[in-house]
Amino acid sequence: MEHRSLLEWRESLRRREISARELVEYYLERIRRLDPKIKAYLTVCEEEARRQAQEADRRLSAGEDLPLLGVPLAIKDNICTRGVRTTCASRILENFVPPYDATVIERLKAAGAILLGKTNLDEFAMGSSTENSAFFPTRNPWDTERVPGGSSGGSAAAVAADLCAGALGSDTGGSIRQPASFCGVVGFKPTYGRVSRYGLVAFASSLDQIGPLTRTVADTALLLQVIGGPDERDTTSWPEPQPDYLAELEKPLSPLRLGIPKEAFGEGLSSEVRRVLEEALREAEKLGHEIREVSLPHLEYALPAYYIIAPAEASSNLARYDGVKYGFRAQGRDLIDMYKKTRSRGFGAEVKRRIMLGTYALSAGYYEAFYRKASQVRTLIIRDFEEAFRQADLILMPASPTPAFRLGEKTDDPLKMYLSDIYTIPVNMAGLPGLSLPVGFTENRLPVNLQIIGPQLADALVLAFGRALEAALALDLKPPLE
């Protein structure tokens, strides 16, 4: 019964082999037993999940056929859920209960999904290890002394430990794909604008994107089918209807040109990660695809440019947390003192670091030198990808330079931590779709993922190739947790 895919559960529910109530109880029992070790969840919606399961069983008995009817999911706690606490893992929003649902939550509910709970993250999605949560760090189900990655570490760990059938995360610079790699699950960042950001608590608006974390590529395709598509409440969403991702997976896949950027397999890449990825590339060749070298000459500048652009946007977006409108408020002598104390006590160290970086980069006299220059570098990165896609159908890179590192190993060195996202950040800068796919293990049996990147709106092709490689590798992705 354990570690079934989302699609397998859906079929069992449709055939009435299991009830939605039984499935919810299965997950609630696992959460009670295993989550004290993992700490993936910030909020578990026990009674509401049971109520939704009862309603799902009624609808299943009546013959209703919805894409996710009765399937229990976990949601990253920076996505607004009406009536359910949404904290962003920050003290400043510790007791915030949104009066509305994010678009993706509306669409999941319309598809019949059940909300199991909200998962832990780095505060305001700023981090690469889920150690920046204001409440507690999440642990990796493959080795509880290691991090699950970040910032969607709670969602990735919940999927890996089978504490939900699937989950949603958000990805600003790798926050779905890097934890997917550390936890040995499938993580997908769609093309920017393919999924509505309405109701996602903003970090860096030109980079943020919601996406699925699941056990299989087909599960990801199903979740993307439900949550994606145009939304008039998000002016950056693509107006064109999306393809049927599940149907696209069933079509025969023609031989592809797979581009390997020479800059992505050099210094800084762990030898064990390199070995696993090279084995996966050989498997791709056996499937009939052509491996060819491409170049992304400005790749090394993506990280510094990102750490100007993202903090600048965060500085603007987080200005709203002032103790006046909602959230935590500290008492002060006057309005200015109240602002200072609220923000000093409400925000953690990493969030304050990024707000200060961003405010500095946007300040008079520095805007041209920093923010404008970073935006120009972003344009060069976009052009590099465009040129590479003239020579290749898809680009393959590491999802992370290393396997999961130990808790506390990088908390004293922010720059070392930032390097965890060196291969994922360029994809956000260019607004491209990127899939993080488990392809093997280190000698210590820690998961390693390959990152599969496509041109804008080539989400279906990225998923189709991922599905073919997944089937060829046929990995056992059950962590030694029990």
Residue numbers annotated as active site:
76, 151, 175
Q: What are the residues whose beta carbons fall under 8 Å from the beta carbon of 255, sequence distance 6 or more?
A: 288, 289, 290
Separation CA 129–CA 143 (nearest Å): 14
Of 407, 374, 452, the residue nearest 127 (C-alpha)? 407
Q: What are the residues whose beta carbons fall under 8 Å from the beta carbon of 349, sequence distance 6 or more?
A: 132
Task: Give the 3-state DSSP-derived string for 132-183, with helices as H, strands as E and coil as C.
Answer: CCCCCCCCECCECCECCCCCCHHHHHHHHCCCCCCEEEECCCCCCHHHHHHH
DSSP SS3 for 186:
strand
- Cis peptide, bond prior to residue 151, ω within 30 of zero: yes
- Residue 228: DSSP 8-state: B
- Residue 372: DSSP 8-state: I
Residue-by-residue DSSP string for 279-331 = HHHHHHHHTTPEEEEE--TTGGGHHHHHHHHHHHHHHHHGGG-SSSSSS----
Of 390, 24, 22, 462, the residue nearest 243 (C-alpha)? 462
Q: For the chain, what is the radius of gyration of the CA atoms?
A: 21
Token digits of residue 32: 């009670």
DSSP SS3 for 52:
helix
Confirm if 294 and 388 have CB atoms less than 8 A apart.
yes
Strand order, beta sheet including 114-119: 41-44, 114-119, 72-76, 167-170, 210-214, 186-189, 434-441, 447-453, 394-398, 257-261, 290-294
Token digits of residue 224: 């993307």
Angle of CA points 352, 353, 355, to nearest 5°: 60
Confirm if 370 and 324 have CB atoms less than 8 A apart.
no
Question: SS3 breakdown of the chain: % helix, strand, coil, rounded to 5?
Answer: 45, 15, 40
